[in-house]
Amino acid sequence: MTGRAVSSPADTSQRKAARIAGVLYLVITVAAIVAHFYVPSELIVPGDPAATASNIKASEQLFRLGIASEFVVLLSEIVLSVILYGLFRSVNRTVSLTAAVSRLTMTTIHGMNLLNYFFVLLLLGGAGYSTLFTPDQVHALVSLFLDAHSYGFTIGIAFLTIHVFALGYLIVKSGYVPRVLGVLFIAAGFGYLIDSFATLLLTNYETTPVYLALPIAVAEIAFPLWLLLKGVNVQAQDHGLSLRTPDAEGVGL
């Protein structure tokens, strides 16, 4: 008579951590849509600084909602980075740490980048700064800070590229997450790399091509859904660890 395998506390903890990571991915996705797509589409008028400034001033609470949503993203990113490190450090501690540090670096850059939005609020919020400039100068400065925020965001994504490549490698090597998800992340890494450098280096580059955006979108949707629905295959993990040499815990790849 064979009994059912009893999950250890470590196994249960890993499953919970995987599902928390999945939830955080979804929270980040929803908050990022609000911060990076919905709010800008409602307030920013491309090529018209005066209309953009007027919209922000008239809908300050909506603009602040975008800032608050970005804070939700950043706080979630910190926790997610730590959880992913815990989930994959048994595969390769060095690569997992690299993935965590690069994602946290992106988070730090994006946090500092939010100052550009607060500069916009200071210019338009009647704090006395608007009296020092003509209306056209205020509008130009608002446009400058919004553009600076856009470039700051891209710089942060450039650091995320390291995380995406590293996470893809870890997934492929893990044995307890489908390898196809790792391949998707590696493909997404090339998408992030090309898109971020093209934005920074090419003057007329504005829209991410579909062939670059598609693997990014698929990877960022499929992986959290897998974590939510399946968690991690702890038995496969344990089996993989029993066959792995001690070098896997060190710097060896």
Residue 196 lies in a domain: yes
Task: Return the SS3 of 86.
Answer: helix
Please report, for residues 5, 26, 79, 223, the alpha-carbon distance to residue 84 in angstroms, rounded to integers and kept in the order given.
26, 15, 9, 12
Structural domain containing residue 212: 11-233
Question: Which of 35, 17, 13 minimizes the C-alpha distance to 79?
Answer: 17
pLDDT digit string, tens, across residues 188-225:
888 888 888 888 787 777 666 766 778 888 888 889 99
Residue 2 lies in a domain: no
Residue 249 lies in a domain: no
Residue 240 lies in a domain: no
In the chain, the number of structural domains is: 1
Residue the block writes with tokens 């994602």: 103
Q: Is the pLDDT of residue 246 over 70?
A: no
Residue 20 lies in a domain: yes
Find the range with the poorest average confidence among 84-88, 98-102, 228-232.
Answer: 228-232
- Taking residues 171-182, report their average pLDDT: 90
Residue 61 lies in a domain: yes
